[in-house]
């Protein structure tokens, strides 16, 4: 085609124009596409075109994308003249008529992007040939330019095959060696990229990756590698969202624990497991039967006693993807001891001790098939494993059940400390760990020794007895006794009814009724929990003698109340509100004349009875309480029924001890 515009050659094919002159002018005689500049025209006149034998020219040109560019070598060989241009700049100049082929090599750096090469060749006379090549220099000592990052990356995920197909635009670098594909979990750091295409370079711009089917999203990028070993930056990332078809890791560390006709399997769970399947078989090779599914890391199943049984376990994730199986074998031998008894208690008596306990759940089957308990005892307040004694529990006083038991111990030492512990034993002879120890002070018939520091302090509300606490370890309380000295010097003990305890001080009691100056003898003895106590007359028991205060009024009052019944307290304890009185007025005609009532209280300071209220209480009044009274004192009162004329119809006097017990 002689017209230059009629031929288009796709890069990087050369466009060749043949001219019938040496000035590249006029219309080309031929325009064609050449894959290479490598011609040997012999004596001239190229085939396929009508040109003169001498004095013709050829111009080759192309425009191509060099990618990242880099170091190149231009190599020319010609007879006759040749000039080479890069982007219009002459790089090779062999422009003369020669009789032999001349050669020239030029090293240069081609910038990144598109550039135009042009080769002008002239044949003047004689033999004609032309050759030109351009090639990248790939030595690592010369090439320091890495490729451009690949462009146009796309990712297509196939849910059926769980593969991601990646495609990208081929790089333009002439020294490209291949590509590397990288993958990382979405959300992970940029340092977490891992090679996904294997160790060899990929030579095409497509790759199918077996993406982990975990239900997570993964990022991909592609990097180009040149022949000098330089790796480009990564392409823009693309995402593949996978479908989870990956099962959890298999359970680890499986165990089988036999317990009579039960087997308990346990294992170390898998990170993303939501359930586990448990299978069993009588043979190692199966077939295996599904026993059940559990969300915990243990499973209990009935199992033949003393018989080998094969198990396997696998984990399932939330989508039902299974793990590999984990196998374990059980021999059916019961090696599991029962749980230890709990809640030990005791009742210590003189000559025997009852020890009782409770058994945690799960002992019913063992007990019903021959399970039992063992009771151990060691001397002292701590359990001594080297000094344990097995206790024999008499059947007529002892009792064992699946939920606990009681042992009637007749062989323990009296009056000392022993420590008990209980073990449960299953039918296979497996004994539980011992229970928590239980310390018991055993009973005796020996009364505690005498108390010390006994004191008697007369008060306005009685005589306060105090003493020092006993140092003996079995004291359960104290008894106070009151007595009178007889003419022969002996003491007649009256009992303990007149001595009363409070709630705040266990080492004090308040004795006596109305403090009227009488003299008494007092004794206090310690009582143990088995009611052993020294008698008050025992010569070892300390006694104190004290005279009550005499707080009675110095003004006598004549009691002439005959109008009706009375009700009041004479000694008021800690739970009562204070002195009070109630009365009746039933006698006629005297009661019909009563205009009101007056209540007076003895004032020791003024030596007189003084009314507790203004005026008279109403004629219908039948009760009165002294709200101003305070504890720790004795009060004396007078009730008067006053007639309409102001005269006293009836008089009643009484006393009230408002005790402050400690």
Distance CA 531, CA 513 (A): 27
Distance CA 263, CA 523 (A): 69
Nearest to 214 by CA among 157, 283, 175: 157
For the stretch 486-531, pLDDT in tens is 999 999 998 777 899 998 999 999 999 999 999 999 999 999 999 9
Residue 33's pLDDT is what? 95
Provide the token pair at 296. 């915990």
The most distant pair of C-alpha atoms in the chain lies apart, rounded to whole Å, by 181
Domain boundaries, the chain: 4-136, 151-241, 252-330, 342-441, 452-547, 566-658
Residue 298's pLDDT is what? 97
Query: What superfamily would CATH give domain 252-330?
Result: Immunoglobulins (2.60.40.10)
- Please state which CATH class domain 452-547 belongs to: mainly beta
CATH architecture of 4-136: Sandwich (2.60)
Cα dihedral value 175, 176, 177, 181, nearest 10: 160
- Burial pattern 158-186, b for ≥16 Cβ within 10 A else e, equals eeeebbbebbbeebbbbbbbebbbbbbee
Q: Is 612 exposed, middle or buried (0-12, 13-18, 19+ CB in 10 A)?
A: middle
CATH architecture of 151-241: Sandwich (2.60)
Provide the token pair at 132. 């030109």
Pairing relationship of beta strands 648-658 and 571-572 according to DSSP bridges: parallel
Distance CA 488, CA 153 (A): 126
Please report, for residues 162, 197, 218, 222, the alpha-carbon distance to residue 156 in angstroms, rounded to integers and kept in the order given.
10, 16, 12, 15
Residue with tokens 């190692």: 284
Query: What superfamily would CATH give domain 342-441?
Result: Immunoglobulins (2.60.40.10)
Distance CA 5, CA 603 (A): 146
Read off φ and ψ for residue 223, nearest 5 degrees.
-130, 140
Please report, for residues 198, 579, 652, the alpha-carbon distance to residue 565 in angstroms, rounded to integers and kept in the order given.
116, 18, 11
Residue 5's pLDDT is what? 53
Distance CA 522, CA 494 (A): 10
Q: How far is CA 466 from the centre of its chain?
A: 55
Strand partners, 525: 479
For the stretch 142-187, pLDDT in tens is 999 999 999 999 999 999 999 999 999 999 999 999 999 999 999 9
Q: Do domains 342-441 and 452-547 have the same CATH topology?
A: yes
CATH architecture of 566-658: Sandwich (2.60)
Flag residues of the chain having pLDDT under 70. 1-5
Residue 123's pLDDT is what? 96
Residue 493's pLDDT is what? 93
């Amino acid at each position: 085609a002689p017209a230059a515009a009629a031929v288009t050659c796709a890069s990087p094919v050369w466009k060749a124009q043949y001219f019938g002159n040496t000035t590249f002018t006029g219309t080309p005689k031929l325009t064609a596409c050449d894959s290479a500049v490598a011609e040997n025209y012999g004596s001239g006149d190229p085939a396929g075109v009508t040109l003169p034998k001498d004095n013709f020219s050829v111009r080759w040109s192309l425009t191509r994308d060099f990618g990242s560019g880099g170091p190149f070598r231009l190599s020319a060989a010609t007879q006759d003249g040749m000039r080479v241009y890069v982007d219009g700049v002459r790089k090779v100049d062999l422009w003369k008529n020669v009789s032999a082929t001349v050669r020239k090599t030029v090293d240069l750096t081609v910038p990144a992007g598109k550039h135009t090469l042009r080769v002008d060749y002239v044949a003047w006379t004689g033999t004609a040939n032309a050759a030109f090549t351009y090639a990248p220099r790939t030595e690592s000592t010369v090439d320091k330019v890495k490729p451009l990052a690949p462009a146009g990356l796309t990712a297509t995920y196939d849910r059926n095959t769980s593969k991601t197909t990646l495609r990208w635009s081929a790089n333009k670098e002439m020294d490209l060696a291949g590509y590397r594909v990288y993958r990382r979990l979405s959300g992970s750091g940029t340092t977490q990229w891992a090679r996904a295409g294997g160790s060899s370079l990929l030579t095409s711009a497509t790759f199918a990756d077996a993406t982990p089917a975990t239900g997570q999203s993964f990022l991909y990028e592609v990097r180009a590698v040149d022949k000098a070993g330089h790796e480009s930056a990564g392409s823009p990332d693309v995402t593949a969202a996978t479908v989870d078809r990956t099962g959890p890791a298999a359970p680890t560390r499986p165990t089988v624990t036999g317990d009579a006709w039960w087997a308990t399997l346990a294992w170390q769970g898998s990170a993303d497991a939501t359930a586990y399947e448990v299978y069993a078989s009588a043979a190692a090779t199966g077939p295996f039967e599904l026993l059940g599914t559990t969300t915990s890391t243990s499973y209990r199943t009935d199992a033949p006693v003393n018989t080998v049984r094969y198990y396997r376990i696998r984990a399932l994730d939330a989508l039902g993807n299974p793990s590999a199986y984990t196998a374990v074998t059980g021999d059916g031998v019961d090696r599991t001891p029962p749980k230890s008894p709990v809640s030990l208690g005791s009742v210590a008596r003189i000559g025997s001790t009852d020890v009782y306990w409770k058994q945690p759940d799960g002992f019913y089957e063992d007990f019903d098939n021959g399970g039992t308990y063992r009771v151990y005892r060691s001397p002292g307040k701590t359990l001594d494993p080297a000094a344990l004694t097995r206790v024999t529990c008499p059947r007529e006083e002892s009792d064992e059940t699946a939920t606990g038991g009681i042992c009637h111990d007749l062989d323990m030492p009296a009056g000392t400390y022993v420590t008990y512990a209980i073990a449960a034993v299953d039918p296979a002879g497996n004994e539980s760990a011992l229970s928590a120890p239980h310390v018991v002070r055993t009973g005796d018939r020996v009364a505690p020794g005498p108390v010390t520091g006994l004191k008697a302090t007369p008060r306005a509300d009685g005589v306060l007895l105090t003493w020092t606490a006993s140092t003996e370890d079995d004291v359960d309380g104290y008894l106070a006794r009151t007595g009178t000295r007889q003419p022969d010097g002996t003491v007649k003990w009256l009992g303990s009814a007149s001595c009363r305890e409070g709630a705040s001080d266990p080492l004090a009691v308040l004795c006596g009724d109305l403090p009227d100056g009488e003299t008494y003898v007092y004794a206090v003895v310690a009582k143990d929990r088995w009611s052993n106590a020294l008698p008050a007359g025992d010569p070892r028991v300390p006694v104190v003698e004290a005279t009550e205060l005499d707080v009675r009024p110095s003004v006598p009052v004549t009691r002439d109340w005959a109008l009706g019944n009375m009700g009041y307290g004479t000694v008021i304890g800690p739970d009562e509100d204070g002195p009070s009185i109630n009365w009746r007025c039933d006698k006629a005609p005297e009661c019909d004349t009563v205009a009101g009532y007056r209540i007076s209280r003895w004032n020791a300071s003024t030596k007189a009875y003084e009314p507790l209220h203004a005026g008279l209480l109403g004629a219908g009044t039948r009760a009165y309480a002294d709200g101003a009274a305070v504890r720790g004192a004795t009060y004396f009162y007078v009730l008067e029924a006053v007639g309409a004329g102001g005269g006293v119809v009836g008089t009643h006097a009484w006393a009230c001890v408002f005790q402050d017990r400690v």
